[in-house]
């Protein structure tokens, strides 16, 4: 530790990691991005978080906040600044089993959360990988494997404890600090650092999981039928579709269907309509504990080993032109990896102004990614064909957030309110979302 940071450490002594520390190698990066921060702070309580923020401001250091490792933007690290790593704030506690109320730290990973809740017969629909951190999902949205049954993670946050950029500690819920409570559910990255969430979990033990494969025709009729089938499907069913190129003119769809029940009859009746969308084969079908979808095996070091660029858009309806563009984008000369996530159901029960996630009428989330040697310019070119069909975007699946992407994530009056609250709670732009 250099002399300046040693003198400034105060209560953070032993909790600051510099490049000459043996811990630095496993703390410097995110899942997608190799970083070179000057300092990584490892707070163990809200007071430590406040002290780290104070120190960063005093030293003139840029701040990155990291709850997990899968953040696609790479904003969980930086060059020459401070990373506030929340991994030690990782508790999972059932506060009230009858009310299904759970307290979760932002540094917990969803694999650990699922493991801890399983003995209680509870689950929280979260990200689709066990290594994703709670904090980013629970402040940005939360599209999980049970999304149509459960809704978004932010829809079930009942209270959030926050350290504001000026160091104040605040508890926000519907009756206390309602503006902060609103913005922390969908746009929290620009308002404060969440240090604990109280979340209402779902009563779920085991789920049905079916893996399907389908041939996709060039006109995208298979995708049209998938979207229409999902629009009529029971809420228990959520699906994710990955489009895989096969040559320059053929595409396959790999479909993961998850039914929020262990009832074999409901599993069968929910999934059977998907067999009618085209040339579909069943690859696997099983009933498994929910924790098996986000297993402990997913936990891994985050060392920047998966560089990628990603963008996304929401579809209100799957039109013929949109379906055709999806197939062309997935199978062109420089194909993008496309994933389609079914929405609707419980997501659309929530009013668009109830949280900072305003997208409550769309049916499908489309996520596009590319990997080296392809870069952001390649992705932008591929996305041009899809962009006119989209209606909004999800902030957590954007690798290059800027004013344009934020306008799509926070449209209209939602965007106006988000920006106003960011200025209120972080007038100096310490968190620079």
Determine the 3-state secondary structure of 146 from DSSP.
Answer: coil
**Cα(83)–Cα(68) distance, rounded to whole angstroms?**
12
Is the pLDDT at 247 greater than 80? The verdict is no
pTM metric for this prediction: 0.95
Is the pLDDT at 6 greater than 60? The verdict is no
DSSP-derived pairing of the beta strands 337-342 and 364-370: antiparallel
Residues 133 and 151 in one domain: yes
pLDDT reported for residue 257: 98
Residues 322 and 253 in one domain: yes
In 209-251, alpha helices (H): 221-231
Mean pLDDT of 244-266: 90
Q: Is residue 60 part of a domain?
A: no
| DSSP single-letter state for residue 80 | S
Is the pLDDT at 211 greater than 60? The verdict is yes
Quote the tokens at residue 224: 């049209």
**Tens digit of each residue's pLDDT (9 = 90 or more) over 256-315:** 999 999 999 999 999 999 999 999 999 999 999 999 999 999 998 899 989 999 999 999
pLDDT reported for residue 309: 95
Residues 100 and 220 in one domain: no
Burial class (CB in 10 A: 0-12, 13-18, 19+), 274: buried
Q: Is residue 26 part of a domain?
A: no
**Cα(371)–Cα(379) distance, rounded to whole angstroms?**
9
409: left (phi over 0), alpha (psi -120 to 50) or beta: alpha
Give the model's confidence band at 1: pLDDT under 50 very low, under 70 low, under 90 confident, else very high: very low
Is the pLDDT at 199 greater than 80? The verdict is yes
Mean pLDDT of 324-350: 95
Contact 352, 322 (CB under 8 A): no
Mean pLDDT of 328-345: 94
What percent of the chain stands above pLDDT 70? 97
Listed in sequence order, the residues at least 6 apart from 80 whose beta carbon sits closer than 8 Å to its beta carbon are: 36, 37, 38, 61, 62
CATH number at residue 109: 3.30.465.10
Residues 131 and 237 in one domain: no
pLDDT reported for residue 3: 47
Residues 219 and 344 in one domain: yes
Report how many domains make up the chain: 2
Is the pLDDT at 398 greater than 90? The verdict is yes
Angle, helices 320-331 vs 221-231, to 10°: value is 120
Q: Is residue 268 part of a domain?
A: yes
Average predicted confidence (pLDDT) for the chain: 94
**Cα(271)–Cα(283) distance, rounded to whole angstroms?**
13
Q: Is residue 14 part of a domain?
A: no
CB atoms within 10 A of CB 235: 18
**Cα(171)–Cα(194) distance, rounded to whole angstroms?**
10
Residues 222 and 187 in one domain: no
Q: Is residue 192 part of a domain?
A: yes
Mean pLDDT of 355-361: 98
Mean pLDDT of 136-165: 97
Mean pLDDT of 53-70: 92
**Cα(361)–Cα(344) distance, rounded to whole angstroms?**
7
Q: Is residue 50 part of a domain?
A: no
Residues 110 and 188 in one domain: yes
Contact 390, 316 (CB under 8 A): no
**Cα(393)–Cα(408) distance, rounded to whole angstroms?**
5
Residues 210 and 338 in one domain: yes
Mean pLDDT of 388-416: 95
**Tens digit of each residue's pLDDT (9 = 90 or more) over 83-112:** 999 999 999 999 999 999 999 999 999 999
pLDDT reported for residue 88: 96
On the question of a cis peptide bond just before residue 317, with omega within 30 degrees of 0, the verdict is no
| DSSP single-letter state for residue 207 | E
CB atoms within 10 A of CB 58: 10
- Strand order of the sheet with strand 193-200? 92-96, 101-104, 193-200, 157-163, 169-172
pLDDT reported for residue 168: 96
**Tens digit of each residue's pLDDT (9 = 90 or more) over 231-243:** 999 999 999 999 9
Mean pLDDT of 16-31: 95
Q: Is residue 4 part of a domain?
A: no
Residues 373 and 321 in one domain: yes
Burial call 192-225: b when 16+ CB within 10 Å, e when fewer: bbbbbbbbbbbebbbbbbbebebebbeebbbbbb
**Tens digit of each residue's pLDDT (9 = 90 or more) over 29-47:** 999 999 999 999 999 999 9
Give the model's confidence band at 250: pLDDT under 50 very low, under 70 low, under 90 confident, else very high: confident
Q: Is residue 374 part of a domain?
A: yes
Give the model's confidence band at 128: pLDDT under 50 very low, under 70 low, under 90 confident, else very high: confident
Residue linked to tokens 């040559």: 247
pLDDT reported for residue 248: 64
Residues 263 and 247 in one domain: yes
Which one, of 285, 215, 271, 274, lies nearest residue 247 by Cα? 215
Residues 186 and 218 in one domain: no
CATH number at residue 352: 3.40.462.20
Residues 342 and 390 in one domain: yes
Give the domain range for residue 227.
206-288+309-398
């Amino acid at each position: 530790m250099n002399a300046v940071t040693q003198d400034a450490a105060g209560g953070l002594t032993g909790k600051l990691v510099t490049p000459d520390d043996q811990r630095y190698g496993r703390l410097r990066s995110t899942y997608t991005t190799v970083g070179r921060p000057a300092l990584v702070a490892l707070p163990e309580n809200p007071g430590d978080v406040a002290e780290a923020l104070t120190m960063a401001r005093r030293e003139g250091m840029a701040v990155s906040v990291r709850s997990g490792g899968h953040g696609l933007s790479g904003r969980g690290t930086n060059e020459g600044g401070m990373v506030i790593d929340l991994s030690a704030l990782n508790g999972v506690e059932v506060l009230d089993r009858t009310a299904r109320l759970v307290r979760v730290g932002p540094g917990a990973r969803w694999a650990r959360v699922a493991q801890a809740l399983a003995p209680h017969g509870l689950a929280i629909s979260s990200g689709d990988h066990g290594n994703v951190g709670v904090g980013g999902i629970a402040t940005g949205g939360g599209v999980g494997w049970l999304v149509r049954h459960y809704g978004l993670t932010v829809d079930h946050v009942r209270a959030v404890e926050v350290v504001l950029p000026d160091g104040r500690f605040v508890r926000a819920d519907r009756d206390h600090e309602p503006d902060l409570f609103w913005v922390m559910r969908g746009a929290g990255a620009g308002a404060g650092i969440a240090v604990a969430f109280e979340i209402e979990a779902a009563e779920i033990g085991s789920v049905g999981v079916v893996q399907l494969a389908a041939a996709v025709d060039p006109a995208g009729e298979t995708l049209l039928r998938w979207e229409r089938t999902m629009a009529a499907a029971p809420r228990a069913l959520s699906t994710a579709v990955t489009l895989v190129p096969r040559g320059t003119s053929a595409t396959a769809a790999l479909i993961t269907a998850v039914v929020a029940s262990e009832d074999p009859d409901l599993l069968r009746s929910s999934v059977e309509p998907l067999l009618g969308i085209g040339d579909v084969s069943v690859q696997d079908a099983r009933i498994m504990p929910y924790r098996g979808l986000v297993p402990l095996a997913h936990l891994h070091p985050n060392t920047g080993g998966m560089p990628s660029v990603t963008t996304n858009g929401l579809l209100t309806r799957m039109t013929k032109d949109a379906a055709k563009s999806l197939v062309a984008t997935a199978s062109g000369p420089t194909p993008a990896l496309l994933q389609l996530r079914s929405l609707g159901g419980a997501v659309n029960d929530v009013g668009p102004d109830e949280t900072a996630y305003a997208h409550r009428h769309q049916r499908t989330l489309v996520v596009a990614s590319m990997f080296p040697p392809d870069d952001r310019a390649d992705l932008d070119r591929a996305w041009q064909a899809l962009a006119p069909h989209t209606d909004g975007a999800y902030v957590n699946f954007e690798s290059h957030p800027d004013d344009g992407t934020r306008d799509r994530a926070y449209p209209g009056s939602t965007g106006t309110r988000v920006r106003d609250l960011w200025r209120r709670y972080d007038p100096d732009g310490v968190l620079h979302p």
